[in-house]
Chain A
Amino acid sequence: MTSKRTSALAVVGAALAALAFGTAHADEIRVLNWKGYGTDEPFALEAFTEATGHTVVHDYFNSEQEMLTKLRTNPGAYDVVLINSAFTGQAKDEGLIQAIDVSDISHFADVAPNLASNEELVPGGQVYGVPWVWGLTSFAYNTNAMDEAPTSLAVFWDPEMKDKVGWRDDALESMHFAALATGQSINDIQDMAAVRAKLEALMPQIRTFWSSENDWNQFMAAGDFVIAPYWSGSVSRSINKGLPVAFVVPEEGAIGWLDGLSIPTGSEHPEAARAFINYMIDPDFYVTWANEGGAPAPSNSKAADALPADAFNRVVLGDPEVVARVQFMAPVPEEKRQEYLALWQELKAQ
């Protein structure tokens, strides 16, 4: 009931704002995100357009670097962009995104305090990214192909898994997994030789690389993969689609991440962009997304409480024992990134 009233208020508010400016604002905003990652859910676009009159078009990226490339080469082309918190600082320093005035983002008050004060997204109290969702990068396995749930990352190096491993063609993620498997901190890898040896041994196990959720689902459904790294929210989406997969947080730990929504510098419709972000952190949106599709954990604490008790996120991410094993991703300096990339390319070329 409350949420209905809020959206009704939003409509009235939007209408008043439109009157105040003397123009009927019905903007078309352009959103840059991973494909199939929440902002392009049909139900969400419908509800948002109905409430505000604004329409949304999407463009997609397959890696954070591609996202940064698109922002750099097309200034002014986008109004909202999803940025992983480990990259928000870089985007801000390059002048790709602007500080967001949260005064008209009414749901911002409900964002969990620990996320709302995240140093990467909100440096020095200035909001450069509105915390949206968080979750884990770990792996999932085909429950039809394996009788017992694997408990360790060692399963990726199991001779039985030869040619059955899916992998994301991403240098940073590969280093992170190898760091976990060799018992190191993902944000401070000391023993690169061990990481290299681990990844070298992994290459023959890999069947092919995936680059989008769609890829992952198809390869898993076709039996090309038995185990593959994946994101917690994506796993719940795949399960809801009927794939026989389950998520594993191995004893070595998992990679934690936080995604924020930012407004690029030069956005032509910042007001509509803020309205869109406000809708994106509305508990209504989160709950519908979790129920209809499958979603990562919401940043909005009211939304987190509104999820059903058996929701994937509450079961997996609500377990303090699991959360204790998570290593959260920190920004990576450019030299490190280059070093990782060079190593990864060399390994792939072998």
Chain B
Amino acid sequence: MQATADRREASRAALLIGPAYLWLTVAVFLPLSAMLFFSFLSDLPIGGRDWETTLANYLEFFDKPFYADLLWRSFQLSALVTLLCIAIGYPCAFVLAKTIKGRTREALFLLVILPFWSNSLVRVFSWAIVLRGNGVIDATLNAILPFEVSVNLMFSYPAVVIGLVHSYLPYVILTSYLALQAIDDSLIEAARSLGAPRWMILLRVVGPLSLPGVIAGAVLIFVPVMGSFMEPRILGGRAGTFFGTVIEDQFVAVFNWPLGAALSFLLLGLVLAILAVASPVLRRAG
């Protein structure tokens, strides 16, 4: 009797998680395996081309120092964007979770997730309009200030950072908000009644309890920004060459899929290594 119940339970579980895992197998595992396979080939096995297995694509990375330079540049960009997102997003999430209540919170929350409803390419192009010389910022400042200024941020490193922070800010706000909201207000009141100043409440009570949310947000931002290519290409101009744009070039511009795949897996490896190093911290926070 017990056994049949267990079996029924197991088949129900399989029925529920089956579609998701089937989807993951088809949509993630198979294409990734194909790419991993390509990364060890000398040429694509289509159209009767000659190919053999090789490590040359991976060695290419170590052969040309500029790949490592670009990877380091992407890492720095990613770290900067992540830190800025946390610095801007965490206070916002705190106020939303702890200070504002009711309909105002709903409305403000809506504003935070609003950008998700528009296409990311549209958002990046709208930044291009704002940032360029004679653009919105430039014109507004010149209309207000008595003296002439020229603000032209377009095609520069700051433009890429601004575009990326804008794109990824909602992630850190959402994850921090969920963590902050779960903190019982009575804990804060208890700390206050025991005489803790505000900064100590933040540092010893709210901070540690909301850390998992912040870290989850940071990971969600850090990983995709490492491989980002659209924002750098459109907003960065000459300063917009990063590891992601070089990978994109291999696929789109020069048809060297094996090299593009190898570079992608090196990036994936680095990201996994960073997460592995950070995992003790993550586990403690979780």
Instruction: Flag if B46 contacts A224 (CB, 8 Å).
Output: no
> Which residues in B have their C-beta under 8 angstroms from that of A69?
252, 255
> Which residues in B have their C-beta under 8 angstroms from that of A342?
64
Instruction: Flag if B237 contacts A208 (CB, 8 Å).
Output: yes
> Which residues in B have their C-beta under 8 angstroms from that of A207?
155, 237-238
B241 beta carbon closer than 8 Å to chain A: yes
Cα–Cα, bound, A214→B255 (Å):
24
Instruction: Flag if B66 contacts A346 (CB, 8 Å).
Output: yes
A66 beta carbon closer than 8 Å to chain B: yes
> Which residues in A have their C-beta under 8 angstroms from that of B49?
94
> Which residues in A have their C-beta under 8 angstroms from that of B132?
222, 224
The size bracket of the interface on B is: 20 to 34
Instruction: Flag if A72 contacts B47 (CB, 8 Å).
Output: yes
B246 beta carbon closer than 8 Å to chain A: yes
B41 beta carbon closer than 8 Å to chain A: no
Instruction: Flag if A72 contacts B255 (CB, 8 Å).
Output: yes
Cα–Cα, bound, A169→B253 (Å):
9
> Which residues in B have their C-beta under 8 angstroms from that of A209?
237-238
A127 beta carbon closer than 8 Å to chain B: no
Most B CB contacts (10 A, CB to CB) among A208, A222, A342 go to A208
The size bracket of the interface on A is: 20 to 34
> Which residues in B have their C-beta under 8 angstroms from that of A348?
238, 241
What 1/0 mask marks residues of chain A from 313 to 350 whose CB sits below 8 Å from any chain B CB? Answer: 00000000000000000000000000001100110111
Contact among A65, A208, A223, A346 with B254 in the assembled complex (CB-CB below 8 Å) = A65
Instruction: Flag if B155 contacts A349 (CB, 8 Å).
Output: no
Most A CB contacts (10 A, CB to CB) among B70, B154, B237 go to B237
Closest to A265 in B: B47
Distance in Å: Cβ of A246 to nearest Cβ of chain B = 23
Cα–Cα, bound, A341→B48 (Å):
24
Known: A208-B237, A341-B254, A350-B66. A95 touches B47 (CB 8 A): yes
Contact among B69, B133, B241, B255 with A65 in the assembled complex (CB-CB below 8 Å) = B255
Instruction: Flag if A203 contacts B238 (CB, 8 Å).
Output: yes
Known: A68-B255, A96-B47. A208 touches B238 (CB 8 A): yes
Cα–Cα, bound, A38→B39 (Å):
38
> Which residues in A have their C-beta under 8 angstroms from that of B255?
65-66, 68-69, 72
> Which residues in B have their C-beta under 8 angstroms from that of A224?
132-133, 154-155
Cα–Cα, bound, A169→B53 (Å):
31
Cα–Cα, bound, A348→B242 (Å):
10
Given contact pairs A208-B238, A349-B246, enumerate 13 new A-B contacts (beta carbons under 8 Å).
A63-B253, A66-B253, A72-B255, A73-B46, A207-B155, A208-B154, A208-B155, A208-B240, A222-B132, A223-B133, A345-B246, A348-B238, A349-B66
Hey, which bits of chain A sit against chain B, CB under 8 A? 62-63, 65-66, 68-69, 72-73, 75, 94-96, 169, 171, 203, 206-209, 222-224, 341-342, 345-346, 348-350
Hey, which bits of chain B sit against chain A, CB under 8 A? 44, 46-49, 64, 66-67, 69-70, 132-134, 154-155, 236-238, 240-241, 246, 249, 252-255
Q: List 18 A-B contacts (CB under 8 A).
A: A62-B252, A66-B252, A69-B252, A94-B49, A95-B48, A206-B237, A207-B238, A208-B237, A222-B133, A223-B133, A224-B133, A224-B155, A342-B64, A345-B66, A349-B66, A349-B70, A349-B241, A349-B246
